[in-house]
Amino acid sequence: MFLPVTRDEAARRGWDELDVIFVTGDAYIDHPAFGVPLLARWLESHGFRVGIISQPDWRSREPFTALGRPRLFFAVSAGAMDSMVAHYTPARKLRHDDAYTPGNRHGARPNRATIVYTSRLKEAYRDVPVVIGGIEASLRRFAHYDYWEDKVRRSILFDAKADMLVYGMGERPLLELANRLRRGEPFGRIGDLCGTAVIAREEPGGENVVMLPSFEQVSGDRHAYAEAFRLLSYEQNPLCARTVVQRHGDRLLVCNSPSLPLFEAEMDAVYALPFIKAPHLSYREPIPAYEQIKTSITSHRGCFGGCAFCAITHHQGRIIQSRSAASVLQEVERLAGQRWFRGAVSDIGGPTANMYGVRCGRPDIQAACRKESCLYPQPCRNLIASGRPAADLLRKVRGARGVTHAAVSSGVRYDLLRLQPEYLRELLRHHVGGLLKVAPEHVAERVTHLMRKPGAKIFEEFLSQFRCESARLGKRQHVVPYFISGHPGTTLDDMVELALFLRRTGLRVEQVQDFTPTPGTLATCMYHTGIDPMTGVSVYVPRGGKEKRLQKALLLGHIAAERPLIMQALRECGREDLCVELLGVRGRKPDRRTVD
Ligand code: SF4
């Protein structure tokens, strides 16, 4: 049975009142791939009466009263994506689709959904606590640069006027909060939960407190902003992180240390919850995000890569939380039992597929480790990275009854894959369907250094390993590389270097991601400040639409419409000598299209 979305549905369960009501910017898909249904099922399994208000019309408060007043609190999420990232392209143009909405339609949630939803809830139920969470709240919990307004905004907790913010993975903090409220503790006295942030008037006592430069300082001084980011980056490890405080005017944001990751048995318990694995019955049109994941299996959470432009490490944590093989197989068996299932599992993975089962082999060192990444600048020698658990898992899944094929379509870290020959063999022999997605993102050394990615040498070594292994297996397989243009530190010359690399290695890109400064990442800090916060070194930042457009075009030489732009880019960096090599044309030709 779905969780109730109306009072009638709640009544059918015999619930005249709910304990916790979730409000989300996504459609309600009862599947563990989506955070709100997962947390709602988690609380339900601990005896709480839970309902979901999904994609309410925010123009009035009535839709927010659909399930009445909750006994404990409202839990608000903008959805699986930050609402501004979901709504706008890197060029700040409005998108016309939304994969988390029936019919792929744009417009089912407002900009800054967390703030808007909280405001409507407070209009309707002034005295009911509102807890905000999800990726939008999580990554905007401190004063942060907002690309869409091109300014530093306050912590979202102040702007939303919510009572508490849950960041990272929500199972532990939400459950503990609900349990303490159930035991009668007043909401206002619960300020010490790991994985949460609250607003306070007085500084917390004790030595384990880090004071960041204030909102006023970071909004007016880019060096202070970079310093705040640097200090914060040392407080990501839940095993040793301290409470982080940031003053906003006469009040303080108090961010408690991150909550501990889930153990394997807890992960298994989460994924064994009674999900229907389908969108709510009220939807009449397909939801692209569901179609994409309906035959995929999440094997783990977290990522220890620490790529500068990615928020996953900040949100899911650096410690990998893997499910047991038995738990994954149970889910595969349930999937195989569905009438519509045709035998193909579309993905077995997580944020980075080959991190399943990988862990730090020195718990004593890990307990105090404050490194940004376990892989950069080179894989840490303490990492137990053999890839054997992941290889075993693949073998078991493809051997499961009812499964004809099991793909790995999540991305892999190729610098890690080099240490995992057994997993690589399994992958290439059975699971990539001729195409393997990898994300070198760039090859110019000063850019990959700023991205915290391995450089060209490691990528080339991996390519030759991939090609040798594929040849040994007698398979024609290709690498699909992902690259980013316009990342802080990238010049036109760097993009020319990358274009030449593609030419030399015979690689072709289908898509190039134009860098977007999403909230909370290291790269966004560099974009805003022009400083690498970890070294204090100045960073060149491509900002203009013209330069960004030319950077992107340089990787798309196989598309006829991009060729005039490539010629323009080569002219601008004085490398017309490369026209023949990159485009197969000699000298200048009249341009039909240029960027001004
Ligand atoms: S010691 Fe190494 S492997 Fe362990 S957490 Fe730190 S960086 Fe990662």
For the chain, the domains span: 7-191
CATH code for 7-191? 3.40.50.280
Does residue 149 register a pLDDT over 90? yes
Average pLDDT over residues 288-296: 95
Q: How far is the CA of 417 from the centre of ligand 1 (A)?
A: 17
- Where does the pLDDT of residue 585 fall: very low under 50, low under 70, confident under 90, or very high at 90 and above? low
Ligand 1 atom with least separation from CA of 383: 3
The confidence score (pLDDT) of residue 596 equals: 60
Q: How far is the CA of 376 from the centre of ligand 1 (A)?
A: 11
Candidate of 303, 358, 365, 376 to mutate for ligand 1, largest count of ligand atoms within 8 Å of Cβ: 365
Candidate of 371, 378, 381, 415 to mutate for ligand 1, largest count of ligand atoms within 8 Å of Cβ: 371
Phi/psi of residue 584, nearest 5 degrees:
75, 20
The chain-wide mean pLDDT, for the chain, equals: 94
Taking only the tens place, the pLDDT of each residue in 187-219 is 999 999 999 999 999 988 878 999 999 999 999
Candidate of 360, 372, 376, 381 to mutate for ligand 1, largest count of ligand atoms within 8 Å of Cβ: 360
Separation between Cα atoms, residue 58 and residue 78, nearest integer Å: 12
**Ligand 1 site residues, Cβ closer than 6 angstroms:** 304, 360, 362, 365-366, 369, 371, 374, 380, 382-383
* Token pair of 471 as six digits: 């040849």
Taking only the tens place, the pLDDT of each residue in 450-490 is 999 999 999 999 999 999 999 999 998 999 899 999 999 99
Separation between Cα atoms, residue 76 and residue 122, nearest integer Å: 12
Taking only the tens place, the pLDDT of each residue in 299-330 is 999 999 999 999 998 899 999 999 999 999 99
Does residue 595 register a pLDDT over 80? no
Q: How far is the CA of 567 from the centre of ligand 1 (A)?
A: 45
Separation between Cα atoms, residue 320 and residue 301, nearest integer Å: 6
Q: How far is the CA of 204 from the centre of ligand 1 (A)?
A: 30
Q: For atom 5 of ligand 1, which residue has the closest CA? A: 366
- Where does the pLDDT of residue 435 fall: very low under 50, low under 70, confident under 90, or very high at 90 and above? confident
Q: How far is the CA of 256 from the centre of ligand 1 (A)?
A: 22
123, 203 Cβ separation under 8 angstroms: no
Ligand 1 atom with least separation from CA of 359: 3
Does residue 544 register a pLDDT over 90? no
C-alpha torsion angle, residues 482, 488, 489, 491 (rounded to 10): 70
Parallel, antiparallel or unpaired: strands 50-54 and 478-485: unpaired
Count the neighbouring beta carbons within 10 Å of the beta carbon of residue 158.
17
Ligand 1 atom with least separation from CA of 237: 5
Ligand 1 atom with least separation from CA of 373: 7
Q: For atom 1 of ligand 1, which residue has the closest CA? A: 366
Average pLDDT over residues 552-573: 90
Candidate of 237, 239, 313, 382 to mutate for ligand 1, largest count of ligand atoms within 8 Å of Cβ: 382
157, 165 Cβ separation under 8 angstroms: yes
* Token pair of 495 as six digits: 């993009």
Q: For atom 7 of ligand 1, which residue has the closest CA? A: 374
Q: How far is the CA of 416 from the centre of ligand 1 (A)?
A: 14
For residue 452, with 0-12 CB atoms within 10 Å meaning exposed, 13-18 middle and 19 or more buried, which class applies?
buried
Taking only the tens place, the pLDDT of each residue in 392-419 is 999 999 999 999 999 999 889 999 998 9
How far, CA to CA in Å, does 427 sit from each of 358, 407, 420, 488?
16, 9, 10, 33
The confidence score (pLDDT) of residue 590 equals: 42
Taking only the tens place, the pLDDT of each residue in 511-531 is 789 999 999 999 999 999 999
Q: How far is the CA of 383 from the centre of ligand 1 (A)?
A: 6
- Where does the pLDDT of residue 91 fall: very low under 50, low under 70, confident under 90, or very high at 90 and above? confident
For residue 429, with 0-12 CB atoms within 10 Å meaning exposed, 13-18 middle and 19 or more buried, which class applies?
middle
Q: How far is the CA of 375 from the centre of ligand 1 (A)?
A: 9
Q: What is the DSSP letter of 431?
A: I
Q: How far is the CA of 14 from the centre of ligand 1 (A)?
A: 49
